[in-house]
């Protein structure tokens, strides 16, 4: 909306509402049990669908488990909610090609997730030897089943801040040379190297980008003291990397799409001598993305990133409904009580410009 003003006012005022096709979240952690029942409404109120990460305890490694988890999620949806959970299998050294066929035939499993063992929260059962997975990955390539990768090496000799860039050379490039038609989503990218690789590589590859990696660099972790609610994996990087992610997300390139990586943890496990990795952003995800896109003067690109590029990559239709964000200040609560567990959302206590209408 453009408004004309009297002479000393700005000639153009920023739009005060934004209506876009209902978005999807292509990477979210809902957990299970009471936590899932508490956080699901936040995701379902903004997004039409979401790719549900399988790193539960124990992980979702079979189609049967994915179907049961999906039923739990659907049973917990608020009355009248229209939300479709897109299920994911957790790849292990022992996953079989038959399991991929079962997943494909189920119609509700949309991807398989590679966690290098030890890379992040609940990844202990992940892959320690990708070579063992080659028959499964070949089956995925043949069946058009996307592989979602947590793109970090776990080699303790590699600096934590370099683990994503090293993953591209040591794991991703060799894998893509071996299986050039395997659909891959490089999840929650955090570096210029990853953005550049995804933009330039041949073949079916895409990347998700979180709101927090668009908004913050690693200084945020240490502003005035250690701030555990800004700690996630892959960890926030330097400003040059944040700028490259903003450029990628707002470029209009369909290889980049929205994935919040919203990852709720109990406050006591975040504010801890060995705090868990993960930022809780499902509550206010679209307001955070709108802020990041507005700062880049690219609100007109938000719909592509949030609502169009993901379905195109996954071969799904775009949602038919829409959402409207309005420019109305809203203060993020200091904490959320989920059952009797406190969860602190990202930017708790701060005021956001945008609110979901
Ligand atoms: C995620 C979690 O808590 O499950 N944590 C995170 O920091 N992003 C796992 C993950 O996606 O790496
Ligand atoms: Zn994640």
Q: How many A from CA of 137 to the centre of ligand 1?
A: 23
Confidence of residue 194 (pLDDT cuts 50, 70, 90): very high
Q: Could you give the CA distance from residue 108 to residue 50 in angstroms, rounded to a whole number?
A: 12
CA angle 62, 32, 351 (to 5 degrees): 130
Q: How many A from CA of 40 to the centre of ligand 1?
A: 17
Q: Could you give the CA distance from residue 166 to residue 329 in angstroms, rounded to a whole number?
A: 41
The per-residue pLDDT for 7 is 41
> Is-cis flag, bond preceding 139, omega within 30?
no
Mean pLDDT value across residues 94-121: 96
**pLDDT one-digit tens code per residue, 278-325:** 999 999 999 999 999 999 999 999 999 999 999 999 999 999 999 999
What is the enclosing helix (H) or strand (E) of 69? helix 63-76
Mean pLDDT value across residues 226-235: 98
Q: Does 6 have pLDDT greater than 50? A: no
Mean pLDDT value across residues 60-72: 98
Catalytic residue check, 300: no
Q: Could you give the CA distance from residue 48 to residue 204 in angstroms, rounded to a whole number?
A: 24
| Cross-strand partners of 52 | 28, 87
What is the enclosing helix (H) or strand (E) of 38? helix 33-46
| Cross-strand partners of 257 | 208
Cα 229–chain centre separation: 17
The per-residue pLDDT for 85 is 98
Q: What's the chain's average pLDDT?
A: 95
Q: Could you give the CA distance from residue 153 to residue 170 in angstroms, rounded to a whole number?
A: 8
Q: Is the CB of 236 under 6 A from ligand 1?
A: no
Q: Is the CB of 277 under 6 A from ligand 1?
A: yes
Q: Does 190 have pLDDT greater than 80? A: yes
Confidence of residue 15 (pLDDT cuts 50, 70, 90): confident
Confidence of residue 1 (pLDDT cuts 50, 70, 90): very low
Confidence (pTM): 0.96
A 10 A CB-CB count for 298 gives 18
Confidence of residue 121 (pLDDT cuts 50, 70, 90): confident
Distances 82 to 78, 216, 228, 310 between C-alpha atoms, Å? 9, 32, 34, 18
Structure tokens at 97: 């090609």
Domains and CATH numbers, the chain: 21-322 (3.20.20.140)
Residue nearest to atom 9 of ligand 1 (CA): 121
Q: Does 8 have pLDDT greater than 60? A: no
Q: Could you give the CA distance from residue 336 to residue 348 in angstroms, rounded to a whole number?
A: 10
Q: How many A from CA of 184 to the centre of ligand 2?
A: 15
The per-residue pLDDT for 13 is 56
**pLDDT one-digit tens code per residue, 133-186:** 999 999 999 999 999 999 999 999 999 999 999 999 999 999 999 999 999 999
**pLDDT one-digit tens code per residue, 198-220:** 999 999 999 999 999 999 999 99
Q: Is the CB of 310 under 6 A from ligand 1?
A: no
Give which of 204, 187, 172 is closest to 29, Cα–Cα: 187
Q: Does 3 have pLDDT greater than 90? A: no
Question: Which residue bears the tokens 């997975």?
Answer: 133
């Amino acid at each position: 909306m453009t408004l004309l003003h009297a002479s000393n006012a700005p000639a153009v005022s920023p739009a005060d509402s934004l209506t876009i096709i209902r978005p999807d979240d292509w990477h979210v952690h809902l957990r299970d049990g009471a936590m899932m029942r508490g956080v699901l409404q936040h995701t379902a109120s903004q997004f039409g669908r979401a790719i549900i990460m399988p790193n539960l305890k124990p992980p979702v490694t079979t189609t049967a488990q994915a179907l049961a988890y999906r039923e739990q999620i659907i049973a917990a949806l608020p009355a009248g909610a229209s939300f479709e959970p897109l299920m994911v299998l957790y790849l292990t050294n022992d996953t079989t090609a038959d399991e991929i066929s079962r997943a494909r035939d189920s119609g509700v499993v949309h991807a398989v997730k590679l966690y290098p063992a030890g890379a992040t929260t609940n990844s202990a059962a992940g892959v320690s030897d990708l070579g063992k997975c080659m028959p499964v990955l070949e089956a995925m390539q043949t069946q058009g089943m996307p592989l979602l990768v947590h793109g970090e090496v776990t080699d303790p000799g590699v600096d934590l801040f370099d683990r994503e860039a090293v993953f591209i050379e040591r794991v991703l490039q060799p894998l893509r040379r071996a299986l050039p038609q395997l659909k891959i989503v490089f999840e929650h990218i955090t570096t210029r190297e990853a953005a550049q690789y995804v933009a330039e590589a041949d073949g079916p590859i895409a990347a998700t980008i979180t709101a927090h990696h668009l908004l913050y660099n690693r200084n945020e972790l240490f502003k005035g003291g250690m701030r555990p609610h800004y700690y996630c994996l892959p960890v926030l990087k330097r400003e040059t990397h944040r700028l490259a992610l903003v450029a990628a997300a707002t470029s209009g390139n369909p290889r980049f799409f929205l994935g919040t990586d919203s990852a709720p943890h109990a406050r006591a496990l975040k504010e801890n001598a060995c705090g868990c990795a993960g930022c809780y952003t499902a509550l206010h995800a679209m307001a955070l993305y709108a802020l990041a896109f507005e700062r880049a003067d690219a609100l007109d690109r938000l719909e592509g990133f949030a609502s169009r590029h993901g379905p195109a990559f996954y071969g799904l239709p775009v949602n038919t409904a829409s959402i409207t964000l309005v420019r109305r200040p809203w203060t993020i609560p200091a904490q959320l009580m989920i059952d009797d567990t406190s969860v602190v959302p990202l930017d708790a206590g701060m005021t956001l410009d945008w609110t979901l209408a």
